[in-house]
Structure formats: structure tokens, C-alpha cells
Amino acid sequence: MSYQAGPQGYPPYPQPPYQAPPPVPPDPRRQAQLAERRSVRRGSTLAGLTMLIGILLTFLLSAVLGFPLSSLDGKTIYELFDTPLWDSAVSVLGTAALLSAALIGLRLLRPEERAGVLLFGRPCAGMRGREISALAVIFAGGMFCVVGQYVSTYLGSFAEGIGVTFQGPPDSYPATLPEMIAAAVATAVFPAVTEEVLLRGVLLQPLRRQLGDGPAVLLAALLFALMHGNMVQAPLALVSGVALGYAVVLTGSLWPAILIHFFNNAGAVLSDVLHNRLPESQLDLIFRGYDVAWFVLGGLGIGWLFANWRRYRPKQDGAAAPRKPPRLNSRPLLSVHYLFGSVPMVLVILYYLFWVIDTTQFR
């Protein structure tokens, strides 16, 4: 074609037909980051809703049982059945409702997410020496729970020295066998399962993939400490929460953490049972021996893990051992926002912060 000017000017320059640029393929790492953040947010919403249901049920139960009835001459049901068995039965109802709400709420998660957080498989699967390694983790976790008790005691003494008093939950001393069973179920069995599923399952596992093991375990432990609602139990919960988190990380299962949690709470129930049955000198001797036993077993467990973990971890048949998940997040503060930023979780945090402040007295 000639491009010399003619009577009508220059002819139009031939343009090839427009072709859209090829689509940019999605970045798989970016897609994985977004999926994990959504998983953290769903876990936060689920855990927050479950805790809110437990709080609302507690308020509802207190309102019903504390309402004066004319048929009882103005007395409340609490006053009519003011026994440790009644208190434990009410606690069993509350914790059972909370556990049921947690299990029902897990249906909100996708099947693949449920499989990734409900780690009820065998501890240390795919490892040589699986049983003894899981037992060593349980012994070490129990020892750190005892360490947390000493931290709580010394922190309370230090606070009193500077004019701050911490108030804990009221003591209950079961005397009969039904009262002991009810107290054990309400204090040791149901809370161990419910709190480990929510904190070390639903929340911890997505956070591990976002932040890595250490920050994820610490955040779950901080929330665990806050859930106790008072500064008497919070230091113990923080230390034991770190131990419980690493028990899940090391074994790839929730069962060791549930057992550690159960043994720790069962020790508190045993202390209440023996409180009015033995003199203080004998109680002190028994629980010093209890602490020493956990320190010995925990020391043996930690020694075993340090000496044999690398030796027993791999397996020649190619079975997968519990491994650290790849860290996907380059913006850790965003994951913290996804964890603590859901509306149910914000309400739960505000509620427990109120109780922490309310149970702290300054003079």
C-alpha cells in the first residue's frame, strides 16, 4: 500500500485486530494466604460464638436459678439447693452445653478445614517410639502446668506487696462421691475437651500456617489466659497454654493436650476433695510430693525428647511425621487482626477483660 498523500490525504494505517492480553495466572502462594486468612477468621468467629453461647447460657441459668419464687416463700432455687453437688451439677450443665455448641459449630467449617483442626489421630503418628514419645510430651506438659501454678502464686504475692489484690473463683469442697464425680466432670473432663478443640484445634492450626509455631502458640495461650477472667488463674493458664500448644505441635494430635489439661484440672479437684479431710500439714506434704513427682517425670520426658527426637522422628517406610507447616504470611499483624477482629471474638475479649478488671482490687 502506498503512503503517499493523495487527494483525500494519507490512507489509514492498517491496524491488526485487537487481542486481549493473556490472563495473568493467579499466584498460588497468594491464593493460599487468602484461604488461610479466611480460615483464621472463620475459626475466630466459631470460637467466639461458642464462648458467647456459654456466657449467655451462664447468665440465663443464673437468672432462672436466682429468681425468687413465691411458691418457695421468696427463696431462690439456689438457696433451696445450696450444696456442692448442686453447684457441680449446674457447672456440668453449663460445660456440656458449651461442648455441644462447639461440636455443632464445627459444622460451619468446611470438611477440609475440620479435618485440619480436629486432630484426633494417634499422637506422633509415623514415628518410631510413638508411645514413649507421646508419654514424654505429656510428662513435660504436666511439669510446666506445675510451673505455672508457682508463677501464679509468686505473682499474687508480689501484687499483694505493692497493694494489688487478685480475686479468684469461689472455692467448692465436694464431700460425697456424687459431688466428687460431678466436680471432676465439670472441672476436668468437659473443659479439657472443649477448650483444646477450640483453642489448640480451631484457632491454633490456621495460625500456625500464617505465623509459624511460636507466635501461634503464644497467641492461643494469651487467649486461653484471658478466658479464665481473673489474674489468679491467668498466669497459670498462660504458662500451661504454651505447654499445651507445643504438645499439639510436637505430636500432631489433640489427645496429649487434652490429657495434660485433664490431669492439671483433676489435681485442682483432688485438692478441693482433700481440703476438709486432712490437716494442713499432711496436705502440704502430699502436694509437695505431687509437684516433685511431676518435676521428675517432666525432667525425664524433656530429657527423652532432646536425646531421642531426631532419632525416632523419621521412619523408613515414608510415613509422614508431624512437621512444621509452611509459613504463608508475610504480614503477621494482619493474621492477628483476623484472629481477634471478628465481632464475636471482640465481644468475648471485652467480657473477660471486664472480669479481669473487676476481680483486681487496688488499695
Q: Helix or strand or coil: residue 130?
A: helix
Among 347, 338, 354, 358, smallest CA distance to 50 is for: 347
> What torsion, rounded to 10 degrees, do the Cα atoms 227, 231, 236, 242 define?
50
Among 179, 190, 160, smallest CA distance to 275 is for: 179
Mode of pairing for the β-strands spanning 360-362 and 164-166: antiparallel
In one-letter notation, the amino acid at residue 219 is: L
The H or E element spanning position 43 is: helix 28-65
Q: Can you count the helices (H) and strands (E) in the chain?
A: 14, 2
Q: What are phi and psi for residue 2, nearest 5 degrees?
A: -85, 135
Collect all residues with Cβ–Cβ distance below 8 Å to 60 and sequence separation of at least 6.
none
Grid coordinates of 219: 497467641
Q: State the DSSP string of 98-126.
A: HHHHHHHHGGGS-HHHHHHH---S-TTTT
In one-letter notation, the amino acid at residue 111 is: P
What stretches of 198-342 show up as alpha helix (H) in DSSP?
Answer: 204-211, 213-227, 234-251, 255-275, 280-312, 332-340
Rounded CA separation 335/357 (Å): 27
**One digit per residue, pLDDT tens: the chain, 363 residues?**
555 655 666 566 666 666 667 777 777 777 777 777 777 777 788 788 888 887 787 777 767 766 565 555 555 555 555 666 666 677 777 777 777 777 777 777 777 767 777 778 888 776 667 788 889 999 999 999 999 999 999 998 898 888 888 888 877 777 778 778 888 888 888 889 888 988 888 888 878 877 788 888 998 999 899 888 888 899 999 999 999 999 999 888 999 999 999 999 999 888 888 887 888 888 889 989 999 999 999 999 999 888 876 655 544 343 444 445 555 555 666 667 777 778 888 898 898 899 888 888 887
Q: Helix or strand or coil: residue 164?
A: strand
In one-letter notation, the amino acid at residue 85 is: L
Grid coordinates of 354: 471486664
Q: What pTM does this model have? A: 0.81
Rounded CA separation 77/224 (Å): 32
CB 192 within 8 A of CB 142: no
